[in-house]
Structure 1
Amino acid sequence: MSTMERALRSSSTRKTEHIFEPILGLVFDSREEAREFYNLYSWEVGFGVKLNNSRAGTKKNNKIDGDEEYRSMQEIVCQRSGYDPRVKSKTKRCGCPAKIQLLRTDDHGWYISSFVKNHNHPLSVTCGQKREWNSHKMIDQSTKDTIKYLRQNNVSLTRIHCILSSMFGSMGDVPWTKRSLRTVCDQITRDQMGDDIRKTMEIFKEMHAEDPGFQFSVDPSRKGRIKTLMWCSGRSQDQYACFGDVVTFDTTYCTNIYKMPFGLFVGVNNHFQTTIFAGVLMTRETTNSFEWVFREFLRLMGGKAPKTILTDQCKAMTTAIGIVMPDTYHLWCKWHVMKKIRESLGPLYTKNRKFRDDFWLVVNGMLTEDEFERGWNYLVTNYNLHNSGFMIRTYECRHKWAKPWAKDKYCARMSSTQRSESANFMLKRFVPRNSSMNHFVSQYNRLLFDRDREEDIAEDKTKQVCLRDL
């Protein structure tokens, strides 16, 4: 049990004024533990602390203490200690005598050999004043571990601050600023980036050990760098075998620190739930890159091509699908086709409800090609849209998205990007922005686990119930 834990446990029966008040002879395992103890005391009282004079060990005891030279004495003082009258610049130092002095124990720990309690300056009273001391802007290791855990689970900076505030009692009692919290989060991201590829490959090995059906594929560049990375679980392959007739593929989601587009192969199961077949990280969205993606996807899925695939309007993707899956019917997601309607048609769309009703009646309600043609001509003529670039482009590609041309194709009610958008929304719950590759893969795996649990629950609810004979 550490010194701080003992102080907290005995706080109800303490004889001192403060919980963490230094006592002569108090023992610590390390200098950092002693500094943290004195810093907690300084928060209670209303000042800040810093390391000051130290003394190296004698030649006989001049050992190496970690990576530092062995020290036999260390002073931890008030931040306003010391004063040089020759220095003309502004300073808060006033020669404050408050300090503790540490000496070595026989087992190379530390103990308090001297404690000067009194200060020669006013002490801070409010939490806002106390936070201005440098030592109280630092975040202790246990809190850093909590922050790291929360960030790994995609908890925002503001929410983390609120959670820590509740732990300390209120927002005003948190002994550091939001800026300090942001600095810690940035450091966590930098640490995750270190040796990123090796960490990612280790995660893949762990996933394969837990799931023998897990597979991944890498498309390397000539310099040995990763151009494209795809992976899928054994369960995803089984789901594709059953529900892979219709697939949506969307690369509009980008949530990693390398700004690599992330693609999701998504389908729908027998409970009409979103199911994820595979994920892919790409550095470039070219025809060659998409060819590799679709070929590898088919290979990982046992060579079975979907009957229908829905994508956005990417020309490179359209070309690649025609080469790799010539017998697959390719549709464009209606959401992507229509997403610029507001900015393209302006007030006509945003302020004219009659036009909106007429427009969506044509888009969603026409069942035959003849009905669609008449309805579209009505829109163009009645609202004077003959020169509208949006209407011209949308009409020219009608066979890729309009219901009359897709009605005889099996789409499993996925003719919009609802499924891809839904999967992207779910991914955002698990993966924070600017993630490293290894953290991205790890959190994606959590998303798969979440989807598997939802499917198991739905499967259990639909089991046949056997009634006992009465």
Structure 2
Amino acid sequence: MKRLLCSKQGSPSLILPPTNGNRRKNGVSRYGCLESIKFKRINRSDNWVTDTVIFYHNHPFTTPSKIRYLPINRSISQTSKLLFSSLAEVNVPVSQQAAYFSNQPGGVQNMGCMKMVINNMVRDDRIDLKNYDVDLIVEEFEMNKSENEEFFYDLVKDDEGRLKHLFWADPTMIENYKLFGNSVTFDTTYKTNVYSMVFGIFCG
């Protein structure tokens, strides 16, 4: 037997009072709605029939302009995911992505997802990428080296296999150092990236 309930079923959640005026007030999402539909299986077969239907909504229905906020609409199709990921790779802000896609289906109310969903997807993609970023940069350097033998890079890992030091120089950098090696500038940045690693630039 299976039973489907209204998303507003259950007791109303208790709203905690604001703490020092900083806590955001949460809206009531439960109204104790009794609307439900029950299905039962016929003789343990794959056939199901409707057993009981209760028509009793004790709350106002969601307006058409708010339908996009329902959990069932908070999803992104696979095609949209690919498009969002492609735009994120070229640093298109999420706000501009949402504005563009909201115009495609005829308005933001028909978009099928919210800006927050896109933000979460981009965040998750960045977290996944962060776990493999060292492999990606080594792959990029190997590709550059295969295209030009004068490209040079070297890296050092710690005992746990994590990146500790990384150095690279392309042919243009090497040639500039040969020509202007009598005057060298050295500039570093520290804790300005997500890894809190020193990034040093040698310029001849």
The alignment partner of 1:131 has SS state of helix
Is 1:136 aligned with 2:62? Answer: no
Deviations, residues 30-79 of structure 1 (Å, cap 9, x unaligned): xxxxxxxxxxxxxxxxxxxxxxx6xxxxxxxxxxxxxxxxxxxxxxx8x7
Corresponding residue of 2:35: 94
1:235 maps onto 2:161 in alignment:
no
**Partner residue of 2:16?**
none
Correspondence for 2:41: none
Q: Given the superposition, is the C-alpha separation of residues 165 and 200 from structure 1 closer, same or farther in structure 2, using an over 3 Å criterion?
A: same
Deviation at 1:136, TM superposition (A): 1.0
Which one-letter code corresponds to 1:174 in the other structure? Answer: M
Deviation at 1:134, TM superposition (A): 0.3
Task: Judging by fraction of residues, say which structure has more helix.
Answer: 1
Give, in whole Å, the separation in 2 of the partners of 1:141 and 1:171. Answer: 19
Quote the residue 1:213 is aligned against: 150
Task: Give the 3 Å change call, closer, same or farther, for CA 162–262 of structure 1 in structure 2.
Answer: farther
1:223 Cα offset (Å) = 5.1
The percentage of counterpart residues that share the same residue type is 25
User: 1:178 and 1:261, CA in 2 relative to 1: closer, same or farther beyond 3 A?
Assistant: farther
Structure 2 letter corresponding to 1:148? S
| Contact persistence 1:80–1:96 (CA under 8 A) | no
Q: Contact (CA 8 Å) 1:213, 1:235: kept in 2 or not?
A: no
CA distance in 1, matches of 2:161, 2:69: 49
- Counterpart code for 1:126: P
2:110 and 2:190 mapped to 1: Cα distance? 38
Normalized against structure 1, the TM-score is what? 0.30
> Whole-Å Cα distance in 2 between the matches of residues 165 and 248 of structure 1?
49
Distance 2:85 2:128 in 1: 11
Comparing 230-239 with 247-256, greater Cα deviation is found at: 247-256
Match of 1:216, SS state, is strand
> 2:64 maps to what in 1?
126
Structure 1 residues 242 and 214, CA gap change in structure 2 (3 angstroms): same
Residue 244 (structure 1) shift: 5.3
Could you state the TM-score of these two structures normalised by the residue count of structure 2?
Answer: 0.61
Q: Secondary structure at the match of 2:69?
A: coil
**Alpha carbons 1:130, 1:175 under 8 Å: kept:** no
Within the alignment, does 1:251 sit opposite 2:188 as a pair? yes
The alignment status of 1:160 with 2:97, answered yes or no, reads yes
- Which residue type is aligned with residue 202 of structure 1? E
- Cα deviation digits, residues 101-145 of structure 1 (max 9, x gap): xxxxxxxxxxxxxxxxxxx67764433x11221021122222222
**Would the aligned equivalents of 2:190 and 2:197 in 1 still touch at CA under 8 Å?**
no
List runs of 5+ in structure 1 lacking aligned partners. 1-52, 54-76, 98-119, 267-305, 307-470
Q: Which residue of 2 aligns with 1:320?
A: none
Supply the RMSD in Å over aligned alpha carbons.
4.0
* Structural mapping, 1:61-460, within 5 Å: 80=6, 90=30, 91=32, 94-95=35-36, 124-127=62-65, 129-221=66-158, 224-242=161-179, 246-252=183-189, 256-266=193-203, 306=204
Letter in 2 for 1:214: F
How many angstroms does 1:152 deviate by? 2.1
Cα gap change, 1:92 to 1:161, in 2 (>3 Å): farther
Partners of 2:11 and 2:108 lie apart in 1 by 38
Say how many residue pairs are matched.
171
Q: Is the 8 A contact 2:68 2:110 kept in 1?
A: no
Distance 1:137 1:223, change over 3 A: closer
Q: Extract unaligned runs of 5+ from structure 2.
A: 13-29, 39-54
Residues 196 and 95 of structure 1: is their aligned pair in 2 closer, same or farther, counting only changes over 3 Å? same
Q: Give the aligned residue type for 1:232.
A: A
Q: Following TM superposition, by how much is the alpha carbon of 1:232 offset from its aligned partner in structure 2, in angstroms?
A: 2.1
User: Match of 2:150, SS?
Assistant: coil
CA distance in 2, matches of 1:134, 1:222: 45
